[in-house]
Each structure stands twice: as structure tokens, then as C-alpha cells.
Amino acid sequence: MYQADKDKFSRFIIELDPRMKELGVVLSVDVTAPDGDANWSLCYDRNVIGHVADYLIFMAYDQYGASSTKPGTTAGYNWVEANIKKFLGQEDVDPEKIILGIPLYMRLWEEEEDGTAKPEVVNMRDMFDVLPENQVATWDEELKQYYVEYEEDGKKYKMWVENEKSVGEKINLANQYNLAGIAFWEKDRG
């Protein structure tokens, strides 16, 4: 979606809402963090959508995504919390309308010699199939995630791990800020 279509999308949601209510359907709208790219993030009027729709689902992931050439976490605790505060503050969205979307995946980053990196998506359930045995993970208190770095076949790899502990920390954020709930999704392997 383009930033130029921001008001048109809001108008669509405004006109869709009464029709959904007539049908008894709950209207939720997935949105990204309120910063960043014009066509990925700045294209939503979260205030308008948050007042009209039943729920806003904050897709709290891809802090460092598929298009990034710099390795980093998919969803660090500090980044997620900062953006929840933006939803509540600058976007003025009622916390009872926000559902926190939490990733069940991470990225394995293969670093190039020039410092750039290529990411590969790894589902939580597949993490131990991807990482070499006996890897030591260190806890990053700011990100509230484990971090793994290793070399294999002359290449350097990095991963910020999503697991039960990191997901639990994000669930705690939803509770701390009295959000409406949490959401997960997973791509079907079929």
C-alpha cells in the first residue's frame, strides 16, 4: 500500500465497519509499527482505524526483515515496547483495541565479508534443525532474547532466537499495557 492511499484506506475501513456490524462480524485490521517505510508503515492512519475497527492487530515483527541487509532481531522486546507506546501515545489508540501480533519465527543471518547479510526465515519449531549442535546462546536483557553466533564452512552466522522465554516476555508486555490480547500466525507447511 502507498502512503498516498492512507486516507482512502481509512475511508474503506470507515465504510466497511457498519456493514460488518450488520453481519455480526468483528472487524480487525493488521498494521505495522508506526515508523519506517512510507509504503509499509506510514501508509496507515492508526488513530482513525483504531477508533473505527473493533481491533488493531499490531504486527510486532520484522524489525529486521527480509529486505534488510543488516542482521538483527525479528522483534526485540525494546522495539516492541517502544512501538506499543507509540500506538498508545502518538497514535492515540485505546489499549483495549490493540492485539499484539507476536512472531513464531526468526531469521538466520549469513554475513558477507562486506558486513551485509542474507536472512533465512526459521520457524521456532525448526530452530534446532538449523543450528549446529552445542551452540551456546547468550541472553540479551535489552532484547529479551537469546543470541547465537557461530562460524561454519568459513561463513559467519547470527540468530536472535524466538522461543518460549522471549515470547513470554512479549506476552508480559501485552498484559503490562492492558492490551486486548495477543495473536500468532503460522504459514502452512503444505
Q: What is the pLDDT tens value at each position of the chain, 190 positions in all?
A: 899 999 999 999 999 999 999 999 999 999 999 987 888 889 999 999 999 999 999 999 999 998 898 999 999 999 999 999 999 999 999 999 999 999 999 999 999 888 889 999 999 999 999 999 888 999 999 999 999 999 998 899 999 999 999 999 999 999 999 999 999 987 766 6
Integer Cα distance of 102 and 76 in angstroms: 11
Q: Is the dihedral of CA 76, 79, 81, 83 positive or negative?
A: negative
CA distances from 30 to 57, 79, 153 (A): 5, 18, 40
pTM, two decimal places: 0.94
